[in-house]
Amino acid sequence: MKKSTIFMTCLTVSIVITLGTTAFAQDPEALVRAAFDYYRGKASVATVKMTVHRPDWERVSTMKAWTKGQEDGIFRIVSPPKDAGNGTLKRGREMWTFNPKVNRVIKLPPSMMSQSWMGSDFSNNDLAKSDSLLKDYSHTLAGTETHEGKTVYIIKSMPNPDAPVVWGMQTLKIREDHIFLSEVFHDEDLKPVKIMTAHDIRMLGGKLFPMVWRMRKADVEDEYTELTYSELTFKEDLPDNLFTLSNLRNPRR
């Protein structure tokens, strides 16, 4: 707790200093944190359409998602009816899944974390370790470009030594208003493996937000998973008992 306050103070001080000296030089660490806070909010409730696309096949499902900070999240499938009620709970870096047909909650073992999440191109790790980018990586500014008249910062994120990470490098594009535009996941040889891009930025839940997030493998153009937000509300807080195993099993709302 103390450490992080000191860190934050240092960060603020350094930002103030850098802002004081050069008007536009952004601190990449602060930028990534700001972008994370921006897209997660303090807490959020959303309805998301997930499209898994393959060259010969496509599948659409809809889910409701509740998130709180970086740590907690609960996702529940609403349609198609066959899958309705299936849910996933994330607390910290642990995940549980619930299936109404067998009425059982299963905790995902570590060996399953790299497997696909609900048949999509997202892995369980992408969800469970979504805050890994903040905790385990150090960020450097690699360049800038412009997007719809706004400055976009290209950030190279390298894992800290000994950090328990999946990727060898990530490259991020963050717009000056803290909107994530893309995230590229590289392996140990720094070759791109997966690419996540954000599209269709518009007013959503009271702020500018990309409606569509697309995750695809770097080498295949025609296989991807798209998340489309149809509703999104940012909240100041959500009750803690929302993110519990009993709520995963017996939804209160």
Partner 1 sequence: MSVDVKMAWRNIWRNPRRSILTMTAIAFACLLLVFMLSFQFGSYDTMINSAVKIHTGHLQVQAEGYQDKRSMRLVVPDPNAIGSILDETSGIEAYTFRANAFSLVSSKERTYGIMVIGVDPIREANVSTLKKVIRQGSYLSAEDMDQALVGELLAKNLQVGLGDELVVLGQGRDGSVAATVVQVKGIYNSGMDEFDRSSIHIPLKHFQDVYDMRGSVHEVVALGTSLGKIPAIKRAVAGAVEDQDPKHNLVVLDWMDLMPGLVEGIQLDLVSGLILYVILIVVVAFSILNTFLMAVFERRKEFGVLMAVGTTPGRLTKILLLESITMTIVGIVFGMIAGSLVTWYFQVNGISIEGTSEVVRQFGIPERMFPQLSFLSVSIGPILVLFITSLAALYPALKVRRLRPVEALASV
Binding interface with partner 1 (CB under 8 A): 52, 54, 57, 59, 77, 80, 82-83, 86, 97, 99, 101-102, 104, 106-109, 111-112, 115-116, 118-119
Paired residues of 205 in beta bridges: none
Least Cβ distance, residue 27 to partner 1 (angstroms): 41
- What's the residue count for the chain? 253
Residue closer to partner 1 by CB (options 70, 116) is 116
Residue closer to partner 1 by CB (options 22, 103) is 103
Query: Alpha-carbon dihedral of residues 128, 30, 229, 63, nearest 10 degrees?
Result: 20
Least Cβ distance, residue 183 to partner 1 (angstroms): 24
Residue closer to partner 1 by CB (options 140, 246) is 246
Least Cβ distance, residue 39 to partner 1 (angstroms): 27
Residue closer to partner 1 by CB (options 89, 179) is 89
User: What whole-number distance in Å separates Cα of residue 163 and Cα of residue 159?
Assistant: 6
Two tokens, residue 62: 């809809």
Pairing between β-strand 104-107 and β-strand 137-147 as defined by DSSP bridges = unpaired
DSSP string, 156-213: EEEEPTT---S-SEEEEEEETTS-EEEEEEE-TT--EEEEEEEEEEEEETTEEEEEEE
Least Cβ distance, residue 56 to partner 1 (angstroms): 8
Residue closer to partner 1 by CB (options 84, 141) is 84
Least Cβ distance, residue 174 to partner 1 (angstroms): 32
* CB count in 10 Å sphere of residue 16: 10
